[in-house]
Amino acid sequence: MRENKFKQIYSQLVSDIQKGNIQPNSFLPSEHELVEQFQTSRETIRKALKLLSEHGYIQKMQGKGSLVLDVKRMDFPVSGLVSFKELAVKMGKETITYVEHFSETVPSKEIAEQLKLKADELIWEIVRVREIDGERIIVDKDFINKTYIPSLTKTICEQSIYEYIENDLGLTISFARKEFTVEEPTNEDQRYLDLEGHCNIVVVKNYVYLEDASLFQFTESRHRPDKFRFVDFARRSH
């Protein structure tokens, strides 16, 4: 019971929507009714509804109510920040991670700049290849500031680095800036991936920040183009 009330209410409503207890294209109970139902204040209900709206579950309409959107097709929630492992589990796919390279090293000038490193700061450099349903589809090149993550092992990289950072180190990953581009495959891509003649690579550059706004990781994720898909829900800011 020590959890945030508005997040509880949000989770309850999400669960009701996903289970079909609340039907798409119907209206939620009014804010006043929800106040009674959850025995709380209106602003708290409104915080919960704001979350639902931001995540694409409802559309609020002044004077009418909160319309439940049809969320069934939102099967691939890559919007926001999700690690490869979290995704793979969600998709129920057979995936294997190969750690092709793992070292503690002095950063190149380029990477030092990307990570805004101070002189003498070291990094972890990791290359991981992701195999999905028997095909090597993705290569992830991670550069992690050793100042924030002092120890790391190959075994952790085979599992989930994010899980280790959040659960074991107790750090909180807070936000990221992502950039998507398309490039021609490098020799390295050819070597690591089953390219099968594809002549482009989707490159996702990810700058990941902790909650104190420190940039601790730069990841370059290189995807075989035919297996790349990114879905986003966006509200227009007027």
Partner DNA sequence: AAGTGGTCTAGACCACGCA
Partner DNA sequence: GCGTGGTCTAGACCACTTG
Instruction: Give residues in contact with a second copy (CB under 8 A).
Output: 43, 55-56, 59, 61, 67, 69, 73-74, 79-81, 172-182, 198-200, 202, 209, 211-213, 225-226, 228-238
List the end-to-end C-alpha distance of the chain, in Å, as a whole number.
Answer: 37
Q: Which does 4 bind (CB under 5 to 8 A by kind): DNA, a second copy, none?
A: DNA
Tokens 């090149």 locate to 141
Examine residue 90 and tell whether it contacts DNA (CB under 7 A): no
- Window 14 to 53, contacts with DNA (CB under 7 A): 28, 30-33, 39-44, 46-47, 49
Nearest-angstrom CA–CA distance, 103 and 96: 20
The entry of a second copy, DNA, none near residue 150 (CB within 5 to 8 angstroms by kind) is none
Q: Which is nearer to DNA, 44 or 206 (CB)?
A: 44
**Binding span for DNA by CB under 7 A among 18-26, 54-62, 68-76, 158-166:** 54-62
- Judge whether 106 and 92 are in contact, CB under 8 Å: no
Task: Choose the contact partner of 90 out of a second copy, DNA, none; CB within 5 to 8 A by kind.
Answer: none
Q: Is 140 exposed, middle or buried (0-12, 13-18, 19+ CB in 10 A)?
A: buried
Partner whose binding site includes residue 47, from DNA, a second copy, none (CB under 5 to 8 Å by kind)? DNA
Query: Can residue 55 be called a binding residue for DNA (CB under 7 A)?
Result: no
**Which of a second copy, DNA, none has residue 179 at its interface (CB below 5 to 8 Å by kind)?**
a second copy
CA distances in angstroms from 153 to 63, 73, 127, 166, 218, listed in the order given: 56, 38, 13, 15, 18
Q: How far is the CB of 113 from DNA (least distance, A)?
A: 27
Is residue 154 a contact residue for DNA (CB under 7 A)?
Answer: no
State yes or no: residue 170 binds DNA (CB under 7 A).
no
Q: Which of a second copy, DNA, none sits in contact with 28, Cβ below 5 to 8 A by type?
A: DNA
Report yes or no: 213 and 207 within 8 Å, Cβ to Cβ. no
Per CB under 7 A, the segment of 59-67, 113-121, 190-198, 216-224 that binds DNA is 59-67
Task: Please identify which residue in the block is written with the tokens 């190149």.
Answer: 108
Given CA atoms 192, 177, 210, 113 in this order, what sign does their dihedral have?
Answer: positive
Binding site for DNA (CB under 7 A): 2, 4-6, 28, 30-33, 39-44, 46-47, 49, 60-66
